[in-house]
């Protein structure tokens, strides 16, 4: 992390559309949930490339950079994610990285999603688990 991140966080918060946060109940799609959870596993190193690499490695599927960033943008609009620009870097032409972090609303959304699944797992009349 770097020094100026606090200030940049503030500026960036302007573009978060708060009116939508009030009126829309966050509904998580499968891919959205995947992105959110991956960001939490990456901790402070969650930025575009690392997120994509992690998802591709874990899910063994190739994802499009356009789809990933569209999803990230929508999650930010819903107020489930926040982001800030990091400092300059050496390896990528001096361009800085945009780091992502889950917000309390994001945590609430994933935990609601989890409890819904747990409930369904518990209620399931079929034995779902295939792991012995």
If binding is defined by CB under 8 A, does position 23 make contact with another protein? no
3-state secondary structure of 3: coil
C-beta atoms surrounding 4 within 10 Å: 13
Closest C-alpha to 16, from 87, 73, 65, 71: 73
Task: Tell which one of 7, 95, 107, 114 touches another protein (CB under 8 A).
Answer: 95
Shortest gap between Cβ of 102 and another protein (angstroms)? 18
Kindly give the residue spans of alpha helices, DSSP state H, lying in the chain: 5-12, 18-23, 30-42, 48-59, 65-77, 104-123
If binding is defined by CB under 8 A, does position 14 make contact with another protein? yes
3-state secondary structure of 94: coil
Task: Tell which one of 62, 64, 90, 129 touches another protein (CB under 8 A).
Answer: 64
Shortest gap between Cβ of 73 and another protein (angstroms)? 4
The piece of 24-32, 46-54, 109-117, 121-129 that touches another protein (CB under 8 A) is 46-54
Cβ–Cβ < 8 Å for 100, 36: no
Closest C-alpha to 48, from 11, 85, 88: 85
If binding is defined by CB under 8 A, does position 77 make contact with another protein? yes
The piece of 1-9, 33-41, 43-51, 113-121 that touches another protein (CB under 8 A) is 43-51
Residues engaged in binding another protein (CB under 8 A) = 14-15, 17-19, 47-49, 64-67, 69-70, 72-74, 77, 85, 89, 91-93, 95-98
């Amino acid at each position: 992390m770097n020094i100026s991140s606090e200030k940049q966080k503030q500026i960036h918060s302007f573009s978060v559309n708060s009116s939508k946060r009030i009126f829309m109940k966050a509904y998580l799609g499968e891919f959205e949930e995947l992105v959110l959870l991956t960001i939490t596993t990456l901790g402070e190193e969650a930025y575009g490339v690392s997120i994509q690499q992690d998802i591709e490695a874990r899910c063994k599927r190739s994802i499009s950079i356009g789809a990933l960033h569209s999803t990230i943008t929508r999650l930010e609009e819903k107020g489930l994610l926040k982001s800030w620009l990091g400092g300059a870097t050496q390896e990528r032409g001096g361009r800085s990285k945009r780091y992502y972090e889950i917000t309390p609303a994001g945590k609430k959304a994933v935990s609601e999603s989890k409890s819904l699944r747990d409930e369904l797992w518990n209620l399931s009349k079929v034995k779902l688990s295939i792991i012995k």
